[in-house]
Amino acid sequence: MVQHQTHHLDAVFHALADPTRRHMLRRLAEGEQSVGELAAPFQMSFAGASKHVRTLENAGLVRRTVRGRTHICRLEPAPLEAADEWLRFYERFWGERLDALERELKKPETTTPSGGCDD
């Protein structure tokens, strides 16, 4: 089970690693789009865009349906929640450490008694 979850999270982060795919997801958040519509801002071929969509599909981030000759894509946000949960752990981790550092920096300085002679 853990291995499956790790593989799935790896696929999500792999898909999110590419700026073209992130842009496609952003556009799909606004509603369904065809693969051709997703390709248009990048002036890429249908085949090129389809490869990006396939990566997003493999990560579970996109669902594609075929209507005639048109491939329609829809955002599937659930895998993003798993990635967000993973990131939130580290947000809390670093938040706690930075809070502890801030507390240490705000502590009044303690002076140690001098045991030597005045210079």
| Confidence band for 7, pLDDT divided at 50, 70 and 90 | confident
Q: Which domains, and CATH codes, for the chain?
A: 2-78 (1.10.10.10)
Q: Which residues pair with 70 in a beta bridge?
A: 67
Assigned token pair, 10: 């790896």
The average pLDDT across 113-118 equals: 58
Residues 110, 113: Cα–Cα separation, whole Å: 10
Q: Which residues pair with 71 in a beta bridge?
A: 66
70 contacts 34 by C-beta, under 8 angstroms:
yes
Residues 92, 96: Cα–Cα separation, whole Å: 6
Give the other-Cβ count within 10 Å of 75's Cβ.
20
**Per-residue model confidence as pLDDT tens digits over 34-73:** 999 999 999 899 899 999 999 999 999 999 999 999 999 9
Lowest mean pLDDT among 24-28, 45-49, 61-65, 90-94: 90-94
Assigned token pair, 2: 């853990």
Assigned token pair, 51: 């490869």
Secondary structure of residue 50 in the 3-state scheme: helix
